[in-house]
Structure 1
């Protein structure tokens, strides 16, 4: 049987990290939009490329959260 308290703490840490990643992704998206608005589409696309890894990590963290939640309910 899993230690529910530890799983809930781990879920909390993961959710905090997801929030951090998405906040950073939003900041990058705003910077990319500013580049495009200034007429530099290529630079905007280049800046936006940094979003990909943050979104990937947020998705994997969410997968882990879902798994931990299922384990804690067993």
Structure 2
């Protein structure tokens, strides 16, 4: 097993997780701004965009942890 290649892939996945979570934070702030401005329904609608980003980040994290376990075997 090529540990260097796996480690590079892990690095790329962690960068992608960071990107997705930063986008989720941006959306959450926009949703919060809607609610603070008095539009709760719009805030909820905006916040719905977060779900896919969190799902994707979670699956990438699953892959990262699996690859890490493989390098320790």
Fold shared per TM-score above 0.5:
yes
Q: Give the paired residue count.
A: 73
For 1:72 and 1:12, locate their aligned partners in 2 and report how far apart those are by CA, in whole Å.
14
Cα displacement (A) at 1:17 = 0.3
TM-score of the two chains, using structure 2 as the length reference: 0.99
Residue of structure 1 in register with 2:15 after alignment: 16
Unpaired runs of 5+ residues, structure 1, are: none
Cα displacement (A) at 1:23 = 0.2
Let me know the Cα RMSD of the aligned residues: 0.4
Residue of structure 2 in register with 1:37 after alignment: 36
Residue of structure 2 in register with 1:72 after alignment: 71
Runs of 4+ in 1 over 2 A off after TM superposition: none
Give the 5 Å matches for 1:45-64. 45-64=44-63
Structure 1 residues 32-64: Cα deviation after superposition (integer angstroms, max 9, x where no partner): 000000000000000000000000000000000
Unpaired runs of 5+ residues, structure 2, are: none
